[in-house]
Amino acid sequence: MKKSRSCVPAIVTALTLAAPAVARAGDCKSDTQIAAELWQKFGEEIKRFAAEVGAQLGNLSAEEIKKKLDDVETAVRRAEAKANETFKNGKWKIGPRALPAGETLDGDLKAERVFLTQGPSLVDNVKIVLDGEGGDAKSDVTVTICTIDASGKYEKVHDFTFGKADYQRVFERTVAAAAGKVVSVHLERKTYGLNNYKYKLRMDRPGL
């Protein structure tokens, strides 16, 4: 059977981006430590997997390569599951919450909250949707969206502030060139208190 190498770049790319990691409002730098810890925790398993598959690529048929791509998907989902166990997501969770792709999270913002993707993005463009649902707080809310790569280099992609009048507004922001990077979303009220800003947050990955 004729060997096919057309899927090789896809495999290498998927393997390179498969190891999870992570990201805060206003200041992206504060999230790099969390990101580094997750890269270290989950990266080695994916690296070993990549090495094993890479050694076989030259002798694989198209069907076998497709099977390996399926294995890559399984490895990514397994790593994301491990990350989710670490985050133990929940509305009342203290500390960073995981931001799984395609899943809507709800919350009551009394002070600040950090959301981090469970792993680096497998696609270049992801969309962050913040759906305001009102609340009895009156202070401004700042939203900062950052990306962090495996080396700890960070970039502030979006940073905006809105007031009480926009508590029920839907904000959508696209993060470009996100492939291979962890995406963080940081929400922070200008004035902390027992009252709240209610919201739903979602990250979409087109095509996945």
Task: Look over the chain and give the mean of its residue pLDDT values, rounded to a whole number.
Answer: 74
* Inter-residue contact 115 to 98 (CB < 8 Å): yes
Amino acid, single-letter form, for residue 31: D
Query: 197 with 177, same domain?
Result: yes
Q: Work out how many domains the chain is built from and give that number.
A: 2
25 assigned to some structural domain: no
Highest mean pLDDT out of 78-82, 132-136, 175-179? 132-136
Query: 82 with 172, same domain?
Result: no
CATH number for position 142: 2.60.120.380
191 assigned to some structural domain: yes
Query: 44 with 138, same domain?
Result: no
Q: Domain of residue 63: give its range.
A: 8-20+34-87
Query: 162 with 196, same domain?
Result: yes
> Is it the case that residue 82 has pLDDT exceeding 90?
no
Question: Average of pLDDT values for 141-149?
Answer: 92
Segment among 33-42, 146-155, 173-182 with least mean pLDDT: 33-42
> Is it the case that residue 204 has pLDDT exceeding 80?
yes
Query: 57 with 113, same domain?
Result: no
Query: 149 with 193, same domain?
Result: yes
Last residue of a domain, one of 50, 66, 87: 87
Structure tokens at 106: 């709800």
Task: Return phi, psi of residue 78, to 5°.
Answer: -65, -40
Q: Report percent pLDDT > 90 for the chain.
A: 34
> Is it the case that residue 51 has pLDDT exceeding 80?
no
Query: 74 with 46, same domain?
Result: yes
> Is it the case that residue 4 has pLDDT exceeding 60?
no
Please tell me the predicted confidence (pLDDT) of residue 19.
Answer: 34
Instruction: Please state the three-class secondary structure of the chain as a single string.
Output: CCECCCCHHHHHHHHHHCCCCCCCCCCCHHHHHHHHHHHHHHHHHHHHHHHHHHHHHHHCEHHHHHHHHHHHHHHHHHHHHHHHHHHCCCCCCCCCEECCECCCEEEEECCEEEEECCCCECCCCEEEEEEECCCCCCCCEEEEEEEECCCCCEEEEEEEEECHHHCCCEEEEEECCCECCEEEEEEEECCCCCCCEEEEEEEECCCC
Please tell me the predicted confidence (pLDDT) of residue 123.
Answer: 86
* Inter-residue contact 106 to 202 (CB < 8 Å): no
The pLDDT tens digits of the residues spanning 8-23 come to: 334 333 433 333 333 3
Query: 139 with 172, same domain?
Result: yes
> Is it the case that residue 45 has pLDDT exceeding 60?
no
178 assigned to some structural domain: yes
Please tell me the predicted confidence (pLDDT) of residue 122.
Answer: 81
2 assigned to some structural domain: no
> Is it the case that residue 63 has pLDDT exceeding 60?
yes
Question: Average of pLDDT values for 51-70?
Answer: 61
Query: 50 with 119, same domain?
Result: no
Question: Average of pLDDT values for 68-80?
Answer: 62
